[in-house]
Amino acid sequence: MDSIGDARVLVTGADGFIGSHLTHRLVAEGAEVHALTSEVSSVFPRRLVDLRGSIAIHEGNLMDRGAMDAVARAVKPAYVFHLAAYTHVGKSWQRVDECIQANIQGTVNLLQALADGGYRRFVNTGTSEIYGDIEVPFREDAVVNPISPYSVSKYAAERFCRLFQRAYGWPIVMVRPFNAYGPEQSPDRVIPEIIVRALRKEELAMTQARQTREFNYVDDLAEGFILAATTPGVEGEIFNIGGGEEISMRDVAMQILGIMGDPIEPRFGALPERPTEIMRMYCDSTKARERLGWAPRHSLSEGLGKTIEWYRRELEDPASPFVP
């Protein structure tokens, strides 16, 4: 197992949900972290503010090949974690061009900018949505059927990674993380929305919530990314990063509310179902467990408990972007 301590690391999407937790973990392990963000601002990224002075921030848009060339020359990373992307599944139907430009062209731009950089490992972030509406549990060797503009664009980016890895021998590993939750997640995602509405005793309107997912505490996913970067001999491989425990959205909502003492009653069926909804989604993570030595450290109840308490404290800050 390679050590990432003292290594120079580039994280794209470092100010995102998973990216920020990964960045904190890398700093804790002693890495020299360079964070790529797309927003040009004098304000330090909110999720990274406690790392001010511990990381270097680089501003640049993945869709700008010249900017990526400049970042690659400046950083010269040993490890690259590529998480930057357009990530909203539902809104991707109205933002197809952005999906193509950010997720496909952006990934290709970054890979080509780094082509002569001599990096040790490039970890590309796919998504569980790549699998689409095939039979569960999802395995890495399955024939996939992505069914949204977002998932199609992420699959295309992953295929470019595989193409370049096989053609040029670039040290690329691809991960497909499954649903994440935890502190500092955007408030429009399902678990934060349920928690915040319950804390405020607001109405909670949901679909029938019969669809199933698996949910992974974000720090556990970050560990999977690091193992994908540091485990020898896995170049060219795809890994599911997820615990593989299937649960319905209805049961997730009821479990959250139960932990909180049932402060509100959810209105199941009040919202329409999402078009092309994937009704069952969970993974077989045998490959990651056996090849990477990865396993989740948090049960769902443990992770939800930590997450609820974080949002409870955050609600005391009237300026918090996580509880608008």
Catalytic sites, residue numbers: 150
Question: Is the CA virtual torsion 6, 11, 15, 21 positive or negative?
Answer: negative
Q: To the nearest 5 percent, what fractions of the chain are helix, strand and coil? A: 40, 15, 45
Close Cβ partners of 2 (under 8 Å, ≥ 6 residues apart): 120, 121, 229, 230, 231, 232
Whose tokens are 């949204």? That residue is 148
Whose tokens are 């319905």? That residue is 248
Close Cβ partners of 188 (under 8 Å, ≥ 6 residues apart): none
In whole angstroms, what is the distance from residue 16 CA to residue 37 CA? Answer: 9
CA atoms within 13 A on the CB side of 136: 18
Q: How are strands ordered across the β-sheet holding 238-241?
A: 56-59, 32-37, 8-12, 79-82, 121-125, 172-177, 238-241
Coil, strand or helix: which one is 280? strand
End-to-end, the C-alpha distance of the chain in Å comes to: 43
In whole angstroms, what is the distance from residue 270 CA to residue 209 CA? Answer: 10
